[in-house]
Amino acid sequence: MLDKSIRAADYEKFCRFLEHQCGILLGENKQYLVKSRLSPLLVTFNATSLSDLINRAMSVRERELRLAVVDAMTTNETLWFRDSYPFNVLGDTILPEFAQRTGSLKVWSAAASSGQEAYSIAMTALERQNQLRRPINVRVLGTDISNQMIAQCKKAEYEPLALARGLSLERKQRFFEPAEKPGAMRVTSKVRQMVDFRHLNLLDSYALLGKFDVIFCRNVLIYFSPQNKQKILNQLAQSLNPNGYLFLGASESISGFDSPFKMQRCNPGIVYRLA
Ligand SMILES: C[S@@+](CC[C@H](N)C(=O)[O-])C[C@H]1O[C@@H](n2cnc3c(N)ncnc32)[C@H](O)[C@@H]1O
């Protein structure tokens, strides 16, 4: 019988370790979350107890286990065209502006989860392309700390449950094709070829990614401390081209932080631009 209890001292150490690794703040009394998310790893990593698993993950030698533990502690909730307004602003304002100005648009989905956000951006561009006065070349990059999520993004196959969340029948018919697995659908190559995915920890440097015209960094900053949030906002600002746009999650804001962004209301919703 595997021991799934966590000693109080181990839990505290683990909270500090997790925040240091990926920014996620657990807070007090979240032992139940750690138990439910890490228990599936006990057998895979041949650990005798959760305390054993946690302590091994914190040791420098066990890189694979460390990555799996951080991965398991992420919350990957997402859906297609989440909150609608960012995709409406993208289609109504940003695409026409950049088609006119530069003829190209680079978009970053900075906490891509299983890919719905990045693919929704590409789908919006394809839907709007014919309404633009000039053609536009749109490239999307999706990044996430979870290697499992990045693998799912690249596979681009979705189960019926995921397909039912935020996707109209019209979009499902236009942008998906049947996958090998019965009931599952795969994003078409026309959409997939506009999007790249790679692993990135938002606490690390983004300098190698280059600059973007639009950044979606949604529903991830809520997990971080004010210090890490400030650090990430600074880096996001440096990753945007002049006049670039930043979308945060509907419940996230930059108020109280020192940043070069100015808020623009889009009724509904808010978008930030470099001042
Ligand atoms: C709740 S999902 C949000 C997905 C999508 N942006 C949306 O709004 O629907 C949060 C994602 O942030 C990722 N994440 C958490 N900490 C991260 C970090 N330090 N660096 C990069 N991604 C991180 C998680 O793996 C997860 O996939």
Q: Pick the atom of ligand 1 nearest to 116's CA.
A: 9
Mean pLDDT, rounded, for 150-163: 98
Helix spans in the chain (H): 8-22, 31-38, 41-44, 50-57, 63-72, 85-89, 95-101, 116-128, 147-155, 160-163, 169-175, 189-192, 226-238
Domain boundary residue, one of 72, 102, 125: 72
Do 140 and 15 belong to one domain? no
Do 101 and 183 belong to one domain? yes
Do 98 and 139 belong to one domain? yes
Domain contains 110 = yes
Q: Is 148 close to ligand 1, i.e. is its CB under 6 Å away?
A: no
Q: Is 204 close to ligand 1, i.e. is its CB under 6 Å away?
A: no
Does residue 1 surpass a pLDDT of 70? no
Domain contains 215 = yes
Does residue 94 surpass a pLDDT of 90? yes
pLDDT on residue 156: 98
Domain contains 150 = yes
Handedness of CA 111, 115, 116, 122 (dihedral sign): positive
CA of 219 to the centre of ligand 1 (A): 7
Work out the pLDDT band at 60, boundaries 50, 70, 90: confident
Could you tell which of 22, 66, 74, 195 is best to mutate to test the pocket of ligand 1, judged by most ligand atoms within 8 Å of the CB? 74
pLDDT on residue 160: 97
Q: Residue 153, exposed/middle/buried by CB under 10 A (0-12, 13-18, 19+)? A: buried
Domain contains 77 = no
CATH at 51:
1.10.155
Does residue 202 surpass a pLDDT of 90? yes
Do 44 and 180 belong to one domain? no
pLDDT on residue 257: 95
Do 32 and 137 belong to one domain? no
Q: Pick the atom of ligand 1 nearest to 79's CA.
A: 9
pLDDT on residue 17: 96
Q: Residue 241, exposed/middle/buried by CB under 10 A (0-12, 13-18, 19+)? A: middle
Does residue 6 surpass a pLDDT of 90? no
Do 154 and 112 belong to one domain? yes
Q: Is 117 close to ligand 1, i.e. is its CB under 6 Å away?
A: yes
What is the total count of domains within the chain?
2
Q: Is 249 close to ligand 1, i.e. is its CB under 6 Å away?
A: yes
Do 179 and 54 belong to one domain? no
Does residue 88 surpass a pLDDT of 70? yes
Does residue 3 surpass a pLDDT of 80? no
Do 261 and 158 belong to one domain? yes
Does residue 12 surpass a pLDDT of 70? yes
Q: Which domain holds residue 34?
A: 8-72
